[in-house]
């Protein structure tokens, strides 16, 4: 077997969520990911106290994987999970959080490329597209990298056949309709919400792909 024929190792991912907070993204990864296996989903349910002094009562440390996705909303639980992952030397993505020693993009579709994130990082994060344009209209779009919620793949068929200018505005708007980010959660520095951010990174990806083609 040549080196190019070597089988790609499957990335083992464990998800921690709170009251189903990551379900849309879990499904998106399962639908659109390749060589990725979500081996376990830990879902913490029920109301939680404002402060959690003993997070180990809610989170197990008996897990092993290649990557952890943190969709926990409670800051005490998210901080403790990152602590556990660092102790185990497992990379962890906690989008929208501000936690040291974790990958914390503003939104899941804002994740940059990082070698340690393996197959997941190669396929999910800042969108990357390839397009063909014929007579000023979008003819084909291939998603090379997209949002784990699946919005990129879901919206792409809606812009096929559109004039480029119309496709650009439509793409951003339609992604925002699908986006699961909280539209009321504004960043105090940028003044933008995750919803706006998602639209912006998708329109930027489409512009880049169109410019490359033209």
Residue ranges of domains in the chain: 3-123, 128-213
Give the pair of three-digit tokens for residue 101.
């020693």
Q: Tell me the CA distances in angstroms from 118 to 124, 141, 188, one per residue in order.
A: 10, 24, 32
Determine the Cα–Cα distance for residues 93 and 208; give it in Å rounded to an integer.
26
Closest CA to 63 of 32, 30, 39, 34: 39
Query: Among the listed ranges 53-67, 74-88, 126-140, 169-183, which one has the minimum average pLDDT value?
Result: 169-183
3-state secondary structure at position 83: helix
Q: Is 6 helix (H, G, I), strand (E, B) or coil?
A: coil
pLDDT higher for 2 or 64? 64
Work out the pLDDT band at 201, boundaries 50, 70, 90: very high
pLDDT, average across residues 11-26: 97
| Sequence-separated (6 or more) residues with CB below 8 Å from residue 195 | 176, 179, 181, 182, 183
Check residue 1 and give its pLDDT: 43
Q: Residue 146 — very low, low, confident or very high, per pLDDT cuts 50/70/90?
A: very high
pTM of the predicted model as reported, rounded to 2 decimal places = 0.92
* 3-class state of residue 76 by DSSP: helix
**pLDDT of amino acid 183:** 61
CB 41 within 8 A of CB 26: yes
Helix, strand, coil shares, percent, the chain, to 5 = 40, 20, 40
Domains 3-123 and 128-213 share a fold: no
For residue 42 the two structure tokens come to: 């830990």
**Banded model confidence at residue 184, pLDDT cuts 50, 70, 90:** low
What is the CATH architecture of 128-213?
Alpha-Beta Complex (3.90)
- Higher per-residue confidence, 2 vs 25: 25
CA distances from 142 to 29, 41, 107, 145, 203 (A): 17, 30, 22, 9, 15
Instruction: Provide CATH code, domain 3-123.
Output: 3.40.50
Percentage above 70 pLDDT, the chain: 91
């Amino acid at each position: 077997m040549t080196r190019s024929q070597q089988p790609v190792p499957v990335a083992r991912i464990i998800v921690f969520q709170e009251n189903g907070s990551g379900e849309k993204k879990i499904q998106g990864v399962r639908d659109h990911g390749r060589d990725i296996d979500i081996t376990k989903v830990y879902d913490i349910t029920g109301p939680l106290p404002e402060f959690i002094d003993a997070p180990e009562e809610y989170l197990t440390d008996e897990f092993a994987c290649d990557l952890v996705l943190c969709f926990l909303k409670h800051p005490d639980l998210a901080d403790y999970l990152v602590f556990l992952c660092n102790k185990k030397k497992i990379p962890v993505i906690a989008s929208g959080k501000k936690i040291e020693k974790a990958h914390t993009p503003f939104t899941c579709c804002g994740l940059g490329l990082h070698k340690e994130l393996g197959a997941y990082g190669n396929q999910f994060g800042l969108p990357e597209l390839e397009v063909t344009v014929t007579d000023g209209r979008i003819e084909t779009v291939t998603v090379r990298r997209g949002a784990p919620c699946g919005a990129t793949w879901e919206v792409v068929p809606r812009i096929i056949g559109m004039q480029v200018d119309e496709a650009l505005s439509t793409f951003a708007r339609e992604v925002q309709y699908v986006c699961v980010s909280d539209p009321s959660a504004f960043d105090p520095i940028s003044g933008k919400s995750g919803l706006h951010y998602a639209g912006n990174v998708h329109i930027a990806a489409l512009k880049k792909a169109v410019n490359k083609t033209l």
